[in-house]
Amino acid sequence: MSERLELNDELLCAYMDGELDAEMRGRVERALVDDAGARVRLERMRAADERLKSEIPLSALQPNDALSARILDGTPLPSASRPPLRVAAVITALAAGIAGVIVGFMFARSQEVPATPFVAAAPAPSLSGASSNRLLLAALDNGESGKSIEEGGRSARIILTFESDDGRYCRAFRSHEAGAAAEGVACRDGGQWEVVAWDGTVDPDEGFRAAGASELLDDVMDRLGGGAALEPADERALIEQHWSTPPQ
Amino acid sequence: MPEFRRELVELLPRLRRFASVLTRSHDDAEDVVQAAVERALRHADSWQQGTRLDSWLYRIMQNLWRDELRAHRRRAEPLDSHADIAGADGRDVTIRHIQTSEARQALDELPEEQRMVIVLVVLDGMSYQETASILEVPVGTVMSRLARGRAKLAASLGEGPQRMRAAK
Taking only the tens place, the pLDDT of each residue in B45-100 is: 777 777 788 988 998 898 888 877 776 665 544 444 443 333 334 444 344 444 45
Element (H, E) at B66: helix B53-75
Radius of gyration of chain B (CA): 17
Confidence of residue B4 (pLDDT cuts 50, 70, 90): confident
Is a pLDDT exceeding 80 seen at residue A89? no
Residue with more model confidence, B80 or A71: A71
Evaluate if residue B130 carries a pLDDT over 90. Answer: yes
Cβ–Cβ below 8 Å for B136 and A207: yes
Residues of A in contact with B136 (CB under 8 A): 207-208
Of all residues in chain A, the percent with pLDDT exceeding 90 is 22
3-state secondary structure at position B84: coil
Give B105's strand partners: none
Task: Indicate the pLDDT class of residue A109, thresholds 50, 70 and 90.
Answer: very low
To the nearest 10°, report the CA torsion of A116, A201, A171, A173: 140
User: Rounded to 5 degrees, what are φ and ψ at B2?
Assistant: -60, -40
Task: Kindly determine whether residue B17 and residue A59, on different chains, have CB atoms separated by under 8 Å.
Answer: yes
CB distance from A214 to chain B under 8 Å? Answer: yes
* Pair A128, A140: CB distance under 8 Å: no
Residue A229's alpha-carbon distances to A29, A155, A157, B74, in angstroms, are 55, 22, 15, 5
* Chain B residues within 8 A of A145 when measuring between CB atoms: 71
